[in-house]
């Protein structure tokens, strides 16, 4: 970008809303891509040229109008906690940092939050709880990450055992999106049309308003339960997870020695034990402890949950935080994102163990799928040997009916959550014909001038 283009953008928004300091631009061009030893070297040197921080939808539209006219790439960014380089600009240009658009406009009486994309999920959870509601699901990065970034790049997390992921059960009611066209349009996507934009990595429109359905607030308790064998830990967590009589928000199983790496809560995780972390309704805590004892477990922690600001916060060790603690312990760890077949999960895990031994360690998270069945998803730890070996493991999973959303690729299609009905791709053709939004991340897109009838369809 030229100096005069940067000055032009400054003139559209306030001076203090455009960042050019190289170290800050670099920081705001990065996310948690380094979780992947494959992506780390590939993305290390990629960055934007300037960061713009719009304060409202009109400023977003003005920036997009200018960038369209000057063919400048624009990459949306929330808190930058995504894992696959989703928010890393591959072709420079503007990093559109939406964190200053962080208003919670309303929580309706039937529990729908209307907010801007930069609102932090943790702040929304806090406000919702004050009004008798809570998030249906959230990532373990809840305190830092933004609602818009979660919709743009996330999938589910704590709460998904009861409410499914972001794609399910009409959790995302509607989105307002700004398009990348000569005259940007402000489009409302409601109902099924939200899927055009969800988990599209900001490649087909900038989300500027969100209607997110909440769940009635529950008084929660946290429990950590230790088991002598992985089989006993898994059986117990599965039993609680699939049984509708338990009101729960988290059901996580860690094969030993994973919990040994959780240094701040080592006192709750006896060395070498297989651990289960759970969030259940407070009035079910005693029953949970008894069920755990009957299953051969020992509750090392069982207390009321006091909120995101109070330690110990067991969700800080679940979902992809598990991988973070493991990497802190030993940089040779990385991970996969899997979905086991609920009817074959034990056989599938045995098969992977036989083939890969301790190169794979099982970390399971139960989630409700779109048909309402609770199934064992997993974010297993993997000891990284080489990209070839990682691909061998992924191929082995897939050949044996284990779904893999590959976290070691930097494009939507290979990441495993690209919609097969191609609605995200079609929205890109409608809203970003020149392919300037987060370019390089949606591989099946070809700019219109060169697109064939086949690709546009
Ligand atoms: P960013 O990383 O800033 O952006 C994510 C993507 O969304 C990017 O492609 C960006 O371009 C796009 N985007 C951002 N804002 C907009 C917008 N307004 N309009 C259009 N596109 C936009 N994810 C889960 O789903 N579940 C988990 O449990 C989970 N656990 C995690 C644990 C750790 C330790 C880490 C590092 C990551 C984890 N993640 C998880 C990934 C990530 O934290 C979440 O998906 C998070 O919600 C992303 O929000 P963000 O604000 O950081 O988004």
The alpha carbon of 230 and the centre of ligand 1 are apart by a number of angstroms equal to 31
For ligand 1, say whether the CB of 32 is within 6 Å of any of its atoms: yes
Residue 419 confidence (pLDDT): 82
Stretch 18-40: mean pLDDT, rounded? Answer: 97
> Nearest residue CA, atom 43 of ligand 1?
81
Residue 449 confidence (pLDDT): 62
Q: Is the pLDDT of residue 451 over 60?
A: no
For ligand 1, say whether the CB of 222 is within 6 Å of any of its atoms: no
Residue 450 confidence (pLDDT): 52
For ligand 1, say whether the CB of 82 is within 6 Å of any of its atoms: yes
For ligand 1, say whether the CB of 76 is within 6 Å of any of its atoms: yes
For ligand 1, say whether the CB of 207 is within 6 Å of any of its atoms: yes
Output Rg (C-alpha) for the chain, integer angstroms.
22
Nearest to 363 by CA among 237, 219, 200: 237
Q: Mind listing the pLDDT tens digit for each residue in 272-319?
A: 999 999 999 999 999 999 999 999 999 999 999 999 999 999 999 999
Stretch 64-76: mean pLDDT, rounded? Answer: 98
Residue 453 confidence (pLDDT): 44
**What are the CA-CA distances from residue 152 to residues 16, 32, 195, 350 (Å)?**
26, 15, 11, 35
Q: Mind listing the pLDDT tens digit for each residue in 214-230?
A: 999 999 999 999 999 99
Site to probe by mutation for ligand 1, drawn from 88, 154, 177, 252 as the one with most ligand atoms within 8 Å of Cβ, is 154
For ligand 1, say whether the CB of 439 is within 6 Å of any of its atoms: no
> Nearest residue CA, atom 9 of ligand 1?
201
Q: Contact, 82 vs 28, CB < 8 A? A: no
The alpha carbon of 150 and the centre of ligand 1 are apart by a number of angstroms equal to 5
Q: Contact, 138 vs 158, CB < 8 A? A: yes
For ligand 1, say whether the CB of 407 is within 6 Å of any of its atoms: no
Atom of ligand 1 nearest to the CA of 150: 47
Nearest to 227 by CA among 145, 292, 161, 148: 292
> Nearest residue CA, atom 36 of ligand 1?
81
Residue 454 confidence (pLDDT): 45
pTM: 0.97
Pairing between β-strand 50-52 and β-strand 94-97 as defined by DSSP bridges = parallel
Q: Is the pLDDT of residue 123 over 50?
A: yes
Which domains, and CATH codes, for the chain?
220-404 (3.40.462.40)
Q: Mind listing the pLDDT tens digit for each residue in 394-411?
A: 999 999 999 999 999 999
Q: Is the pLDDT of residue 337 over 70?
A: yes
Q: What angle do CA 8, 11, 15 make, to 5 degrees?
A: 115
Residue 457 confidence (pLDDT): 40
Residue 418 confidence (pLDDT): 80
In this predicted structure, which of 53-57, 235-239, 421-425 has the lowest mean pLDDT? 421-425
The alpha carbon of 418 and the centre of ligand 1 are apart by a number of angstroms equal to 16
Q: Mind listing the pLDDT tens digit for each residue in 409-446?
A: 999 998 877 888 899 999 999 999 999 999 999 999 99
Residue 96 confidence (pLDDT): 98
Residue 448 confidence (pLDDT): 73
Stretch 164-176: mean pLDDT, rounded? Answer: 97
For ligand 1, say whether the CB of 84 is within 6 Å of any of its atoms: no
Q: Contact, 221 vs 305, CB < 8 A? A: yes
């Amino acid at each position: 970008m030229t100096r005069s283009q940067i000055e032009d953008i400054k003139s559209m928004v306030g001076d203090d809303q455009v960042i050019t300091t190289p170290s800050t631009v670099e920081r705001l061009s990065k996310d948690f891509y380094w979780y992947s030893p494959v992506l780390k070297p590939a993305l290390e040197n990629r960055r934007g040229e300037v960061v713009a921080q719009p304060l409202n939808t009109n400023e977003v539209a003005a920036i997009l109008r200018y960038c369209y006219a000057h063919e400048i790439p624009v990459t949306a960014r929330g808190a930058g906690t995504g894992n696959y380089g989703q928010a890393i600009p591959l072709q420079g240009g503007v990093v559109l940092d939406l964190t200053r658009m962080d208003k919670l406009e309303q929580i309706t009486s039937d529990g729908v939050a209307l907010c801007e994309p930069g609102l932090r999920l943790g702040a929304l959870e806090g406000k919702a709880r004050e009004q008798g509601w809570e998030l249906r699901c959230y990532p373990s990065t809840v305190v830092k990450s933004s609602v818009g970034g979660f919709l743009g790049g996330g999938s589910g997390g704590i709460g998904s055992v009861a409410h499914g992921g972001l794609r399910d059960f009409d959790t995302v009611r509607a989105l307002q999106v700004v398009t990348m066209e000569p005259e940007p349009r402000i489009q409302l996507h409601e109902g099924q049309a939200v899927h055009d934009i969800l988990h599209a990595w900001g490649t087909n429109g900038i989300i500027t308003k969100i209607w997110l359905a909440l769940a009635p607030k529950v008084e929660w308790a946290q429990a950590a339960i230790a088991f002598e064998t992985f089989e006993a830990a898994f059986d117990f967590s599965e039993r609680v997870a699939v049984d509708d009589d338990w009101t729960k928000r988290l059901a996580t199983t860690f094969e030993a020695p994973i919990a040994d790496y959780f240094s701040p809560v080592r006192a709750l995780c006896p060395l070498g034990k297989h651990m289960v972390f759970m969030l259940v309704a407070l009035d079910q805590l005693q029953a949970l402890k008894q069920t755990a004892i009957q299953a051969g477990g020992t509750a090392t922690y069982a207390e009321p949950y006091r909120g995101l600001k109070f330690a110990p916060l067991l969700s800080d060790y679940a979902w992809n935080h598990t991988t973070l603690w493991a990497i802190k312990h030993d940089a040779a760890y990385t991970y996969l994102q899997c979905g086991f077949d609920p009817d074959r999960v034990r056989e599938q895990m045995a098969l992977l163990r036989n083939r890969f031994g301790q190169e794979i360690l099982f970390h399971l998270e139960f989630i409700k799928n779109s048909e309402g069945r609770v199934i064992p998803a997993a974010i297993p730890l993997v000891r990284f040997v080489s990209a070839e070996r990682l691909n061998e493991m992924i191929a082995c999973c897939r050949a044996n009916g284990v779904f893999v959303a590959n976290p070691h690729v930097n494009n939507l299609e290979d990441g495993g959550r690209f919609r097969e009905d191609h609605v995200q791709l079609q929205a890109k053709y409608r809203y970003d014909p020149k392919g300037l939004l987060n370019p390089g991340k949606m591989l099946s897109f070809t700019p219109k001038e060169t697109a064939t009838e086949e690709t546009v369809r």
